[in-house]
Amino acid sequence: MDVLNLAHGAFFAWGAYAGFAVLNALNGLGWVETGTLGQGILSVLLALLAALAIGGVLGLFLERVIIQRVYGDHLKQILITMGASMVLAEVIKVLWSPNNQTVLVPLSFTGSYDVMDVVINKFRVVAIVVGLAVYAGVMAVMQKTKLGIIIRAGVENREVVQTLGYNINRIFTGVFMAGAALAAVGGSMWGIFREQITPAMGDENLIFALIVVIIGGMGSVTGSFLGACMVGLAFNYVAYLVPKLALGANILIMVIILLIKPWGLMGREQ
Amino acid sequence: MPEAILSLAGVHTHLGQHHILQGVSLEAARGRATVLLGRNGAGKSTTLRTVMGLTPASAGSVVFDGRAIEKARPYAVARAGVGFVPEDQAVLRGLTVEENFRLAMLQESPEAWAKLDTIFELFADLKKFWRAKAGVLSGGQKQMLAIARAFVGDHKLLLIDEPSKGLAPIVVDHLIASLNQLKQHTTIILVEQNFHLASQVGSDYFILDDGRVVHSGLMKALVDDEGLKQSSA
Ligand SMILES: Nc1ncnc2c1ncn2[C@@H]1O[C@H](COP(=O)(O)OP(=O)(O)OP(=O)(O)O)[C@@H](O)[C@H]1O
Ligand SMILES: [Mg+2]
């Protein structure tokens, strides 16, 4: 869509807080810390759903009120979405607290599996499954459906798509909402995984998202997928060996890739 | 004069500070091909774009098929039945030929797919490159795709802006044949600098200059006129 949106960090944080609030409320019913496996799974699903909804609503609001005014102007997009994300982070402090919050997680989602002496964190497995499902879903919609054709065409040439009879503004609002909703789900997953959330978590994670997208190539879902794998693996390996260099290693990878492929791994020259 | 499918009355269009269309009035008869002529910068493309709602009129009326559309957004104009082939062969390069067609079908109905047979007869190359990215097509093939794409969308009126631009003479001849076939199915408004093409396809003409219609009539009369000028020169 050719929009540089730095508010995704804020969607991420809001998703985490929405999930946190839902889990807190359900814990009041005894579903979370002391619940059955079914109640635990349902709690997590409801938390993700709440994140999806809040992300969608925030995305709708931001696109309609702010982004629509700055289509085609990258500098304004960067500045205005940065501003919006600061506001959104401050609102979190007002509604909850400026301090860390502990996320209540159903017992069935904590701890690890032991597969032949290899310890695998349970929620990591869930995260990988959800991640793959989202990737497969986005790819299927973009490549196989009429909606996907319209979106790809709209990214290339809004005007032509409009003159073919599609309300591209409305469709792009929907795409933007979907992106925000997915960022919020990611935040909610992150919160459950870490069992800790802070108002600043959006910015802390946005840097990784940006590195992932730049490495992968803007506008490419598969590129982002590859970028995410590289960033995640590199971060963890380096963090294990030399903790302080973890982020630096990612940036180094990004620099090297950009030197070789200026548009990212799967990006198209513009 | 047969019934008008499209009529513009006193249409003014501003682009930024510039007053481009300064009261354009014209009518296109249903079932015929109307040609807009005029020198570069006369406002021909802007007239088509104003009908589509891409550069909305600041004053005046645009009536299509009995409906006022001067305030309608482009997608609504398209849905009302107006197809648009812009000036610059605006096919979607990243999409395959097939996807370009699917995009053009608001409803992917059996009737729409059936139209493809006619299209393949007119533009055989499109069948050959069915699964290729539209970006790899030649200029002429892109133009064919842009026209065929508008045709598959089931429109009552097609606006075609300079289809011959940048095409070799032999391709233009093919285009003339295709447009004359197309005329059997739908009403056409054509902007064209190539007088040969304009005279072979058009039934009526309007000449624009400085954002106004300065002359209009039957294409046949204009051709005879030109012939007269040529012989007396
Ligand atoms: N975006 C714009 N802003 C300001 N002026 C414009 C814009 N687009 C076109 N114009 C001006 O409007 C006038 C009419 O342009 P238009 O494209 O309609 O002409 P045309 O008859 O189609 O010419 P051509 O034969 O060269 O395609 C020209 O003088 C052009 O310079
Ligand atoms: Mg023009």
What domains sit in chain B, N to C, each tagged with a CATH number?
A: 4-231 (3.40.50.300)
Number of domains in chain A: 2
Give pLDDT, residue B32.
93
Count of alpha carbons within 13 angstroms of residue A171, beta-carbon side:
19
Chain B (89-108) residues lying within 8 Å, Cβ to Cβ, of chain A: 90, 92-95, 99, 102-104, 106, 108
Which of A170, A198, A226 finishes a domain? A198
Model ipTM? 0.88
Q: In 3-state terms, what secondary structure has residue A270?
A: coil
Q: Give the best residue of B75, B105, B131, B161 to mutate against chain A (max A CB count within 10 A).
A: B75
Task: Compute the distance from residue B131 Cα to the ligand 1 centre, in Å.
Answer: 35
Q: Which helix (H) or strand (E) holds A56?
A: helix A37-65
Residue A77 lies in a domain: yes
Same domain, A84 and A192: yes
**Residues of chain A found within 8 Å of residue B75, distances taken between Cβ atoms:** 162-168
Give pLDDT, residue B229.
64
Same domain, A120 and A73: yes
Give pLDDT, residue B160.
94
Give pLDDT, residue A118.
79
Which of A198, A220, A245 finishes a domain? A198
End-to-end CA distance of chain B: 33
Which of A146, A164, A198 finishes a domain? A198
Mean predicted confidence (pLDDT) in B150-173: 85
Name the nearest CA neighbour of A16 among A123, A126, A96, A109.
Answer: A96
Cα distances (Å, whole numbers) of residue A163 to B78, B86, B182:
6, 9, 19
- Segment B97-136, tens digit of pLDDT: 999 999 998 888 888 788 888 788 877 888 889 999 999 9
Same domain, A92 and A153: yes
Mean pLDDT of chain B: 88
Low-confidence ranges of chain A (pLDDT < 50): none
Same domain, A154 and A210: no
Residue A225 lies in a domain: yes
Count of alpha carbons within 13 angstroms of residue A136, beta-carbon side:
6
DSSP letter string, A84-117: HHHHHHHHHHHHS-SS-EEPP--GGGSSEEEETT
**Residues of chain B found within 8 Å of residue A168, distances taken between Cβ atoms:** 75
Helix locations, chain B, DSSP H: 44-52, 74-80, 97-104, 110-122, 124-128, 139-152, 169-183, 195-201, 219-232
Same domain, A119 and A149: yes
Same domain, A190 and A208: no
Same domain, A42 and A165: yes
Residue A70 lies in a domain: yes
Instruction: Please identify, by atom number, the ligand 1 atom nearest to the C-alpha of residue B43.
Output: 18
CB atoms within 10 A of CB B233: 5
- Segment A27-71, tens digit of pLDDT: 888 888 888 888 888 999 999 999 999 999 999 999 999 888 888
Give pLDDT, residue A78.
87
- pLDDT of residue B1 exceeding 60, the answer is no
Please report how the helices A8-28 and A201-216 are oriented relative to each other, as an axis angle in degrees rounded to 10: 130
Same domain, A133 and A85: yes
Whether B72 and chain A come into contact, CB under 8 Å, resolves to no
Residue A1 lies in a domain: no
Residue A100 lies in a domain: yes
Query: Which residues form the domain of A37?
Result: 8-198
Q: Give the best residue of B99, B147, B154 to mutate against chain A (max A CB count within 10 A).
A: B99
Contact B187, B158 (CB under 8 A): yes
- pLDDT of residue B76 exceeding 90, the answer is yes
Ranked by mean pLDDT, the top range of A117-131, B21-35, B109-123, B147-161 is B21-35
- Interface contact flag, B54 A163, Cβ < 8 Å: yes
Give pLDDT, residue A208.
83
Instruction: Provide the total of helices (H) and of strands (E) in chain A, helices listed first.
Output: 10, 4
Same domain, A126 and A229: no
**Residues of chain B found within 8 Å of residue A160, distances taken between Cβ atoms:** 86, 90, 92
CB atoms within 10 A of CB A102: 12
- Segment A240-263, tens digit of pLDDT: 888 888 888 888 888 888 888 888
Name the nearest CA neighbour of B158 among B184, B121, B134, B129.
Answer: B184
CA atoms of A218 and B225, how far apart (whole Å): 57
